[in-house]
Structure 1
Amino acid sequence: MQPFIIRDNEGVPLWLNNDTYTIKLDKENTGGNISIIQGFVGPGGGPIWHLHEDADEIFYVLDGQLTVRAGEIIFHANPGDFVYVPKGIYHQFRNNSIKPIKILLMFSPAGFEGFFRETGIVAKQGVIPPLHIHDAEANRRAIKIGGKYLSFVPDFENPDVNPNL
C-alpha cells in the first residue's frame, strides 16, 4: 500500500436516513483495516437501534453535538469528542439539535461501507435529502441489507423499534 490523500470534496455523497454520507476510506484502499465515512446529519437524523456483529464503530464529532446511545449509556459528544462502540453492542446516534452536524464514522475492520453504497441513494452535492428518502419502507430495506453486512436490529418485523434519544 502507498500513502495517499483524500480531498474534502472527494467521494460520492449518498443520501441515507435523511442524512448525507460520503465514503472517504474503504476496505479496498486500507487493506480491510478501517473505513471512514463523513456524515452530515440533519436535525432529528440518525439510524435506528442496531448493532454491528463484526465491527467496532467510532464516532468523531467535527461540528455540532451528537447524541449516542450505546447499550444503556447515553453520550452527548461535542466537536473534538470521540465515542467508541465495540462490536456486538446495540446503539444508535441522533442529531437532537435544530442545525445539521458534521461527523466521521469509522468502522474497524472495514467492510460496513458496503452497506452505505448499497442502501444509499447517490446525492446531489450540497442538496439536502428529499423527505421520501426515510420512511418505513426505506427502514425495511436498510434492515434487510444490513443483515448482509452483519448489522442487525432487535426485531426485524418491526423496523420502527427505536429507543428514544
Structure 2
Amino acid sequence: MEIESRRTALKALSATAIGMALAPHLALGAAPGAPKKPFVLRLADARAGEHYHLMGFDLFLKVSAKDSDGQMSMFSGVYRKHDGPPLHVHYEQDEEFYITEGEFLVQVGEERYTLKAGDLIFLPRNIPHTFLTLSDTGRMVFMTHPSGKTEQLFKQLAALPPTATPDDAQKIHIANQCRIVGPKLTVG
C-alpha cells in the first residue's frame, strides 16, 4: 500500500511540475492579469486609437499586449505598390503574416515566397525577413508573439520626422529588440 501511495504522490508531483512549466500562472492559481472582456474592432479601427503611419503604410493595432498579458500583439496593415520595410530581424518575437488582399513578395532568410489573399507565412524569430507589396494595394493581418516591444517599435518609428536618417531608425529597432540588416526588397 505504501508503494502505491508513493506512486500516486509522484504522479501528482510530476503533473504539478509539468503544469507549472507549461502554464505557471494557472498551475499556482494566480490570475493572469485583469479580467478580460470581448471587444470588436471594425476594419479601420485601432485598439486604444493606436494607428501608426510609417514607411508609407498604415498599421492598426487590433489586439494589444495589454489584452493578451503580453502573449501577442496583432496588427492589420494597409499597403500600396512597392511598400515594405527594410530587411530586419526580431530577436524575441515570432511573427505570422496572413494576407487578406493583394499580393506580396516575402523574404525569410534566403527564401522568397509570393503570397496572395488567404495565404499565411510563419516567420521564426532570429531569421531576417521583409516583404514587398506587388499589387496596387494590399492588406495583411500580422501577429507577433510574445508581444515584446513591437508596439513601442511602431509607435516610435511613426513619430520619426521626415528628416530622420536610417541610423535614427536603426537606433529605434535596436532599442526594441530587433535590427535592420539589409535594404528593402525591389523588383525588376
Identify the TM-score tier after normalising by the shorter chain. Answer: 0.7 to 0.9
Q: TM-score, normalised by structure 2?
A: 0.72
Structure 2 match to 1:125: none
Q: Does 1:118 align with 2:156?
A: yes
1:22 aligns with 2:44: no
From 34, 41, 45, the counterpart of 1:10:
45
* Alignment-derived partner of residue 140 in structure 2: 103
1:146 paired to 2:161: no
- Residue 106 of structure 2 is aligned to residue 76 of structure 1: no
Aligned counterparts of 1:95 and 1:70: Cα–Cα separation in 2: 15
Corresponding letter in the other structure for 2:138: I
1:113 partner SS: helix
CA distance 1:45–1:87, shift in 2 (3 Å): same
Higher helix share: 2
Give TM-score, length-normalised by structure 1: 0.81
Judge conservation of contact 2:131–2:185 (CA < 8 Å) in 1.
no
Which residue in the other structure is 1:128 paired with? none
Residue deviations 1:106-129 (CA, integer Å, cap 9, x gap): 1000131211112115xxxxxxxx
1:142 CA displacement? 2.2
Runs of 4+ in 1 over 6 A off after TM superposition: none
2:66 counterpart SS class: helix
Give 1:3 shift: 3.5
Between Structure 1 and Structure 2, how many residues are aligned? Answer: 148
Helix, strand or coil at the partner of 1:30: coil
Identity %: 22
Highest Rg: 1 or 2? 2
Counterparts in 2 of 1:44 and 1:162: CA distance versus 1, 3 Å: closer
Unmatched tracts of structure 2, length 5 or more: 1-34
CA separation of 1:39/1:86 partners in 2, compared to 1, >3 Å: closer, same or farther?
same
Give the drift of 1:163. Answer: 5.2
Structure 1 distance, partners of 2:37, 2:118, is 25
1:88, 1:68 → 2: CA distance? Answer: 16
Aligned to 1:44: 82
RMSD: 2.1
C-alpha deviation, 1:162, in angstroms: 4.0
CA contact (8 A) 1:64 1:78 kept: yes
Assess if the C-alpha contact under 8 Å between 1:6 and 1:24 holds in 2: no
